[in-house]
Amino acid sequence: MTRVIFATLFCFGTLSAMVWADDPAQVNDTAVRDAVSRSLPFLEKEGVAWMKDRGCMSCHHVPLLLWSHRSAQAQGFTVDSQKLAEWDEWIRKDSLSKRRQFWLRNYDLGRPEAATLPQAVKDKLKPLIARPFQTEAEYLAELTPLLTEDEMKSHRATVLKISERTLDMDDRVGGGLEALSPLLIASQGTASVLAQPEFRDGVIDLMSQIQLADGSWTPGVQLTGMLWTLPTANQATTMWTTLALASYDTPDPKRSASIEKALAYLRQQTPNPDNREWLAMRLLLERQFGSAEDVAKLRQQLLDARNGDGAWGWEKGVPSDALTTGLAIYVLAKVRAGDDSSVFREARKWLLASQQSDGSWLTPSKNFTKPTNPEQMKVRDEIYHYWGTAWATIGLLETLGKSGS
């Protein structure tokens, strides 16, 4: 029943967009500001609930809660600075608590890899259980006094192996690259604690540490579960991470080296313009690192990728959605490679007409992810509902003053 209601409401929003198509007053900056004023309370309510109930940042809730509100503040909306500071601090603490390169658990002592450890050594390791360490040096500093010299020689490698967290674990990478990258971008140039060197430089170091030898970064679970191929997901994560690193221009050889390696990797990969997120992200990347010719070509591809309703779907042949449309107009407004005012007006028509009474945008997860059981799809619908609303808000904010209306 829930799926039927969701589909009905989504179709109704699309029909409404057609009715509004000939009324320019409905898509001017005043109308956009009204729409954003209605979406921000939804984003705050659901984003804060996610923090309290789930206790994790995720790539689709908390970073975009912060990004949407900081963008609104920059556009003159009244945003509670105290709330922003509280969200910043929650994010900072959550991310720092999840940079566990080494974290020994009772479970690890029973793993097959630990079979060669004598019980006496296992007993000596108990003071380290459930204590997170961000570096090998920190871990060894606590491990060495617990074991004899002979025990260290014989078992050091095994203890390190069973204790080290792998790169695909969010508690190793500060909450995940897909969360950290938008946080860096959204906080750049603000007074946020996330933009201060103590946090920012730690994230940049972490990104450098976990970059693969080929220059790419591995996507997290959320991105690998989407409909695109793994190579496309790898490129998307690498583009987001590169743009996050590039959002800061402070001299840093390690950061510069990471960017150069990432760009070399991306230049060697097969393009996938049929995926509109890939296309938008590649346009944003080339705007910063590519040629004017490449930017013009990618911009035209993104414009040509619109559906007949003036909005975008996530992949070729997929119905329009708020997430992809918000991302597309955000990128076009950032790139400013041509007069896109009419494009923004058409996208605004679709977004403003399909906005729900609670200020949100319904965004069907079936357009992004692989089919699964109904209960799991319901959970995904909730995630994409928020994700789509956040990107619609961010995209609309970026078009203010740029639609010619």
CA dist 298 → 104, 195, 278 (Å) = 47, 31, 11
pLDDT at 165: 79
Q: How far is the CA of 301 from the CAs of 9, 275, 292, in angstroms?
A: 30, 11, 14
In this predicted structure, the answer to whether residue 14 has a pLDDT above a threshold of 80 is no
| Rounded mean pLDDT, 378-401 | 95
DSSP conformational letter for 102:
B
pLDDT tens for residues 302-353?
Answer: 999 999 999 999 999 999 999 999 999 999 999 998 899 999 999 999 999 9
Structure tokens at 21: 């198509």
pLDDT at residue 2, as a whole number? 41
pLDDT tens-digit map of 66-114: 999 999 999 999 999 999 999 999 999 888 877 777 889 888 999 999 9
SS3 315: strand
pLDDT score recorded for residue 164: 87
Higher pLDDT: 21 or 40? It is 40
pLDDT at 1: 43
Confidence at residue 342, expressed as pLDDT on a 0 to 100 scale: 95
Least confident interval from 59-63, 158-162, 363-367: 59-63
- pLDDT band for position 121 (50/70/90)? very high
Percent share of the chain, pLDDT over 70: 92
Least confidently predicted of 1-5, 46-50, 137-141, 399-403 = 1-5
> pLDDT tens, 193-244?
999 988 888 888 889 888 999 999 988 777 777 888 899 999 999 999 999 9
pLDDT of 389 strictly over 90: yes
Measured between alpha carbons, how far is 288 from 246 in angstroms, rounded to an integer?
Answer: 9
- Residue 250's pLDDT band (cuts 50, 70, 90): confident
The letter for the amino acid at 322 is: A
As a whole number, mean pLDDT of residues 156-174 equals 79
Report the chain's mean pLDDT, rounded to a whole number: 89
pLDDT at 12: 46
Could you tell me the pLDDT band of residue 168, with boundaries at 50, 70 and 90?
low
Above 60 in pLDDT, residue 13? no
The pLDDT of residue 210 is: 86
Lowest-pLDDT choice from 140-144, 193-197, 246-250, 269-273 = 246-250
Find out whether 359 and 322 touch, Cβ atoms under 8 Å: no
CB-neighbour burial class of residue 295 (10 A; exposed 0-12, middle 13-18, buried 19+): buried
Q: In the prediction, which pLDDT does 219 show?
A: 85
pLDDT at residue number 25: 59
CA angle at 326 for the pair 321 and 330, rounded to the nearest 5°: 155
